Amino acid sequence: MHKYANPTEFMRIANGIFPWAAGLAVLLFAVGLPMALVFSPADFQQGDAARIMYVHVPAAWMSLMVYAIMAAGSAAFLIWRHPMANLVARASAPLGAMFTALCLVAGMLWGKPMWGAYWVWDARLTSELMLLFLYIGYLALTDAFEDPDRGDKVAAMVALVGSVNLPIIHFSVDWWNTLHQPSILTMKGFTVSASMLVPLFLMVGAFTAYYVALLVLRLRAEILAVKIRNARSARAAAVPLGALTEGTS
């Protein structure tokens, strides 16, 4: 694992994955969106409003998966001081926040015709909203300290503590009396028709490939930012004290 602590080695693999992930995302969206929005059958109870599921469910899946990746990267950073694990967590955070916000908006649009209101303090909706706050808190903490390393450590600890919310989100519909529909996949099997599963899986795959492609792009930006910060620190350290005194006099 320490072999991939080297940004050059890590990005060599990541850059090789990028065109495949980007191409797969385009292909899956091109096939999945028409199937989801046009060719898939309407739900016998919810009608065409159920088509929001093809955005809402993949976004919900990504919000959990990305946070799990962020928490794992934070753990590797705190335990083994793995620099690339920390950068993966940092690069994933805004993407996870984006997916979580999309999940909540799609859920609100779905809830209006189903429940008669855009928002109810449902167990799953509330715990998903807490997940969005965790993402925002992580992003705020990474830049809240003058010392970037200290900010990364505090943010990583928050990410680890916040990971307890993931099973709460998943099992909330089982643990509490809730308005939210049951999970797509349960211990008894899938809860939707097989004709809806194909476009749903295509959209889940499209969202996942899209995340991988964006993650590589964000990692490039994070590595560049670290190089610029290190160069500025080295330049500031190399300036003689006398030069600084003369410059201020």
For residue 209, what pLDDT band results from cuts at 50, 70 and 90? Answer: very high
Instruction: Using alpha carbons, list the distances in angstroms from residue 68 to 57, 64, 96, 193, 197.
Output: 17, 6, 10, 28, 24
Average pLDDT of every residue of the chain = 87
Choose the weakest-confidence range: 10-14, 24-28, 35-39, 183-187. Answer: 183-187
Q: What is the pLDDT of residue 117?
A: 85
Residue 62 exposed, middle or buried by CB count within 10 Å (0-12, 13-18, 19+)? buried
62-106 tens-digit pLDDT: 999 999 999 999 999 999 988 899 999 999 999 999 999 999 999
Q: What is the pLDDT of residue 97?
A: 98
Q: What is the pLDDT of residue 182?
A: 64
Choose the weakest-confidence range: 138-142, 148-152, 181-185. Answer: 181-185
pTM: 0.88
The Cα–Cα gap between 97 and 133 comes to 9
Helices (H), the chain: 7-34, 53-80, 83-115, 123-142, 148-162, 165-175, 194-238, 241-248
How many CA atoms lie less than 13 Å away from 78 in the CB half-sphere? 19
Give residue 176's domain range: 2-248
Q: Which residue has the higher pLDDT, 207 or 234?
A: 207
Average pLDDT over residues 121-141: 94
- Confirm if 153 and 82 have CB atoms less than 8 A apart: no
Q: What is the pLDDT of residue 229?
A: 83
Choose the weakest-confidence range: 26-40, 62-76, 114-128. Answer: 114-128
For residue 189, what pLDDT band results from cuts at 50, 70 and 90? Answer: low
Q: Which residue has the higher pLDDT, 153 or 7?
A: 153
212-240 tens-digit pLDDT: 999 999 999 999 988 888 888 788 777 65
Residue by residue, DSSP assigns 190-206 as: ESS-HHHHHHHHHHHHH
> How many structural domains comprise the chain?
1
Torsion over CA: 205, 206, 209, 214 (sign): negative
Q: What is the pLDDT of residue 94?
A: 97
Average pLDDT over residues 17-25: 98
Q: What is the pLDDT of residue 1?
A: 59
Rounded (10°) CA dihedral 9, 67, 96, 47: 130
Average pLDDT over residues 157-178: 87
What is the gyration radius of the CA atoms in the chain, in angstroms?
A: 22
- Confirm if 72 and 160 have CB atoms less than 8 A apart: no
Choose the weakest-confidence range: 39-48, 79-88, 122-131, 178-187. Answer: 178-187
Average pLDDT over residues 179-195: 62
Q: Both tokens of residue 74? A: 């934070």
